[in-house]
Amino acid sequence: MSNFTIQIIDKLLLLPGLLIGLSAHEFAHAYVAFKLGDDSQRFQGRLTLNPIKHIDPLGFLLLMLLGYGWAKPVMVNSRRFKNLRRDDTLVAIAGPIANLILAIIFTISMGLTVLIITRAGGYNQTSEIIMKILERAILINLVLMVFNLIPLPPLDGHQILGNIVGTPLWNFYYKYADILRIALTFIIILGGTRYIISPIVGNIYNFLINLMQNILLMVL
């Protein structure tokens, strides 16, 4: 099997977790905004888990090819919020939390799959594919969570930190917004984010897998 074929297969195995992760992330932003009073989310068609409503074609293509892209951002009308600072923070953090919940769900699914496979007599080609899809789904959702918590615009982390710190930091973000966006782009292009994201993602992933394995040992 050629390297190109292996890469294509790897991308296909990544696809389910990526589509679910991006859709859930943006849906969570929209849903929390809606519950906090921003009914524009209903008219924008963002109160759905349908990937078509959340995926940006170019951003998704780049994400699959280069490992960096974007989904359609949820446009929030913060004037509808009763408590701007609190509600804006809740909307921003909803996306990363959704990805963490999905990572946990996929870990549980992996554990149940291992349990079923073990009791069915062992692995086969189908079960191995399912395990690989679940493994990548856990990882991609952890990556989406951690990456979006980086406190640089336009990521969720800058909304969260800005609301926590207040006016001085918002003034800094506003003044240097273009520079910070360019800096983030260069950090991504040069692979700098992997040094920030990989250790955190790796530790959380290992924790979830070890927890799942310890539970399986008690069950089996």
Would residue 135 show up in a list of annotated catalytic residues for this protein? no
Asked whether 55 and 22 are in contact (CB, 8 A), the reply is: yes
Of the candidates 26, 87, 88, 135, the residue annotated as catalytic is 26
CA distance 92 to 12: 29
User: Taking the CA of residue 102 as centre, how many other CA atoms within 13 Å lie in the half-sphere pointing to its CB?
Assistant: 31
Residues 6+ apart with CB under 8 A from 182: none
What the block records as the tokens of 20 is 């679910």
Contact 69, 61 (CB under 8 A): yes
- Which are the catalytic amino acids? 26
